[in-house]
């Protein structure tokens, strides 16, 4: 087990190094940030000064080494646009996105898994058919349209929900959170639902497929033959047997939502990472882009590691030997 974790950290290290090189070179190839940063009528000296200040006159590999060296010391550089350290900038935006994403993913699981298990348990019933049809809608309706509809219905027509922003925030561990105040929760609800929709449909489909498969297995027949009630069978046997694909998708979706909640954040003007990255791409703010992509790679690595560890927790067959 320890050697497994050790091995995974080793792999993660390699991935981070490869990722940093890829990202740095990839971003380097995109446009010239100087043109964006200084006014066109600046003199040649000022231009050269700025280029030298940001180290843009050095060859690519030297720039990369400098970058890597700063990275090791936890310094992501200065944002060209905001003029503040990138680390601080990203950290100021991360909690908003983290909060929104967690809310959406947990909402999707808490609602989707029970619905899916029910649909798999009684596949013929009317309710199951309604659930399954709704889940197809959830897959096919575009996020931006659904978000706009939510705003129109609840914020414009009925006026009971705010159309955007984070609302009042309260401080916990020195970070601002929306979910701690009533007003903040209200602001969180619509974007959360919008973001959860696709994941909800996915959870329903996965849980249903797993449940249908497990319900006809000998394990369930044997449990029934022992007189165990249907509720206990679903809660204790079925849920645990179908959990591995669910955890996999939970992890993957959590990662990708965290990284790419852009559309929802834009529609609900949620001041999160998604907006930051879009802004920095349009203004060619290289340090922010690089730091953001590194953060995303790191997040996926951590989430995958956690998912693998949860597998071992869930399935005793994986505990012996190498996974």
Interface contacts to other proteins, rule CB under 8 A = 3, 6-7, 10, 124, 216-219, 221-229, 232, 236-237, 240-241, 314-317, 322
Residue 207 CB, nearest approach to other proteins (Å): 16
To other proteins, the closest distance from the beta carbon of 22 in angstroms equals: 23
Q: CA angle 141-143-149, nearest 5°?
A: 80
How would you class 10 by CB atoms within 10 Å of its CB: exposed for 0-12, middle for 13-18, buried for 19 or more? exposed
- The answer to whether 131 and 205 have CB atoms below 8 angstroms apart is no
Residue 211 to residue 214: CA distance in whole angstroms = 5
Q: Which is nearer to other proteins, 176 or 315 (CB)?
A: 315
Take residue 61 and report the two structure tokens written for it. Answer: 């590999």
SS3 320: coil
Contact 234, 121 (CB under 8 A): yes
Q: What is the smallest separation between the CB atom of 223 and other proteins, expressed in angstroms?
A: 7
Q: What is the rounded CA–CA span in Å between residue 266 and residue 304?
A: 28
Which C-beta is closer to other proteins: that of 186 or that of 224?
224
What is the rounded (10 degree) CA torsion for 267, 268, 274, 279? 70
- To 10 degrees, what angle do helices 182-215 and 126-140 make? 120
Give the phi and the psi of residue 31 in degrees, each rounded to 5.
55, 180
Distance CA 302, CA 309 (A): 11
* Nearest residue to 89 (alpha-carbon basis) of 288, 240, 313, 323: 288
- Among residues 219 and 283, whose Cβ is nearest to other proteins? 219
Q: Which is nearer to other proteins, 88 or 229 (CB)?
A: 229
Distance of closest approach, residue 219 Cβ to other proteins, in angstroms:
5
Q: Between residues 229 and 269, which has the closer beta carbon with respect to other proteins?
A: 229
The C-alpha atoms of residue 173 and residue 101 are separated, in whole angstroms, by 19
Closer CB to other proteins, 7 or 66, in the complex: 7
Choice between 262 and 305, CB closer to other proteins: 305
Query: Least distance to other proteins from the beta carbon of 214, Å?
Result: 10
The distance of closest approach from Cβ of residue 144 to other proteins in the complex, given in angstroms and rounded to an integer, is: 40
Q: Return the DSSP state at 78.
A: B
Beta carbon of residue 232, minimum distance to other proteins (angstroms, whole number): 6
Residue placing its CB nearer to other proteins in the complex, 83 or 316: 316
Interatomic CA distance for residues 110 and 303, integer angstroms: 19
Indicate the SS3 state at residue 238.
helix
Place of tokens 């179908």: 242
CB 65 → other proteins: shortest distance, Å? 27
Q: Minimum distance between the CB of residue 4 and other proteins, rounded to whole angstroms?
A: 10
Q: Which is closer to other proteins, CB of 190 or CB of 241?
A: 241
């Amino acid at each position: 087990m320890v050697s497994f974790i050790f091995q995974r950290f080793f792999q993660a290290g390699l991935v981070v190094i490869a990722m940093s090189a890829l990202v740095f070179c990839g971003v380097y190839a995109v446009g010239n940030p100087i043109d964006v940063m200084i006014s066109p009528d600046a003199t040649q000296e000022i231009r050269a000064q700025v280029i030298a200040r940001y180290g843009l006159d050095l060859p690519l590999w030297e720039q990369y080494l400098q970058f890597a060296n700063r990275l090791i010391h936890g310094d992501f550089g200065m944002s060209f646009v905001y003029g503040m350290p990138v680390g601080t900038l990203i950290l100021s935006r991360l909690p908003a996105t983290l909060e929104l994403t967690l809310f959406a993913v947990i909402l999707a699981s808490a609602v989707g898994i029970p619905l899916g298990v029910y649909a798999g348990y009684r596949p013929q019933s009317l309710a199951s058919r309604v659930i399954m049809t709704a889940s197809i809608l959830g897959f096919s309706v575009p996020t931006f349209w659904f978000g706009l509809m939510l705003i129109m219905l609840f914020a414009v027509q009925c006026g009971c929900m705010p159309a955007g922003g984070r609302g009042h925030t309260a401080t916990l561990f020195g970070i601002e959170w929306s979910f701690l105040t009533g007003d903040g929760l209200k602001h969180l609800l619509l974007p959360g639902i919008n973001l959860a929709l696709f994941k909800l449909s996915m959870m329903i489909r996965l849980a249903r497929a797993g449940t249908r498969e497990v319900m006809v297995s000998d394990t369930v027949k044997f449990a029934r033959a022992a007189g165990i009630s249907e509720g206990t069978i679903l809660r204790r046997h079925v849920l645990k047997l179908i959990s591995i694909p669910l955890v996999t998708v939970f992890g993957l979706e959590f990662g990708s939502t965290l990284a790419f909640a852009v559309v929802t954040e834009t529609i609900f003007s949620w001041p999160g990472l998604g907006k930051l990255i879009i802004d920095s791409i349009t203004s060619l703010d290289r340090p922010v882009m690089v730091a953001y992509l590194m953060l995303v790679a790191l997040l996926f690595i951590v989430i995958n590691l956690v998912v693998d560890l949860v597998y071992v927790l869930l399935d005793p067959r994986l505990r012996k030997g190498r996974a």
